[in-house]
Structure 1
Amino acid sequence: MDGQSHGMEPHERILRSPRFQELIRRRSAFAWTLSAIMLGLYFGFVLLVAFAKDLMAVRIGGGVTSLGILLGLGIIATAFVLTGVYVARANSRFDDLTRSLQEEVTR
């Protein structure tokens, strides 16, 4: 098939493709899930800072580091981990869907 098959431009065929719709749906759902996890952690941390000051001020070990500092660093680390999870999935499942979509459109 050429790019003009069925009277549609290639971009129109892509937008109407069920595989493209599936790719958009899966990618969006996954991104929203990871975003909700991160927002939950951030809001939980802020609530702890606001309402559990004594808990957040607890010193860890014999130094000056508090539980709040460790939890804050944990949230930053979690953001990096969740970004890695998204990239790993994008490079596997989402790329597979994209390749199959390209094959479908170029036929």
Structure 2
Amino acid sequence: MTTKEHDSSVYEQAQGSEQFQELKRRFRAWTFPMTAAFLTWYLLYVILSGWARDLMSVKVLGNINVALILGLLQFVSTFWIAWAYSRHAEKKLDPIADEIRHEAESRNA
């Protein structure tokens, strides 16, 4: 067996493992709902900006209006999602990925 064939069989074994399937399940269980929630939030902002101009132009404090606050909250939510994903990956994904990598490395050695 050539090195290339051996490498691909190690990857195929890793992909077929229960651990890899669990890793994919955990990744998708967090990522898909969070992506849907963020896209909904973003589209709401776009829709309000286009069709609810009276609401978006309401002044909250001085020249700061609802549109500006919601726009800034888009940035805040983006950074929060990145931080939350980092925590999720560190606790729920990285340990399984490390196990899969160590098993693959031991098979490849």
- What TM-score comes out, normalization by structure 2 length? 0.80
| Greater helix fraction, Structure 1 or Structure 2 | 2
* Residue 13 (structure 2) aligns with: 13
Instruction: State whether structure 2 residue 93 is matched by structure 1 residue 94.
Output: yes
Instruction: List structure 1 segments (4+ residues) > 3 angstroms apart after TM superposition.
Output: 102-107
> For each residue in 1:9-55, what CA deviation from the matched residue of structure 2 results, as whole angstroms up to 9, or x when unmatched?
32222111111011012212311111111101011111111221111
Please give the alpha-carbon distance, in whole angstroms, between the structure 1 residues aligned to 2:79 and 2:46: 19
* Residue 4 (structure 1) aligns with: none
1:83 to partner: Cα distance: 0.9
| Greater strand fraction, Structure 1 or Structure 2 | 2
* Residue 79 (structure 2) aligns with: 80
Paired letter, 2:40: G
The equivalences for 1:58-69 within 5 A come to: 58-61=58-61, 63-69=62-68
* Residue 51 (structure 1) aligns with: 51
Equivalent pairs counted in the alignment come to 99
Stretches of structure 1 lacking an aligned partner (at least 5 in a row)? 1-7
Contact 2:49 2:56 in 1 (8 A): yes
Please give the alpha-carbon distance, in whole angstroms, between the structure 2 residues aligned to 1:96 and 1:54: 50
Please give the alpha-carbon distance, in whole angstroms, between the structure 2 residues aligned to 1:47 and 1:87: 30
- What TM-score comes out, normalization by structure 1 length? 0.81
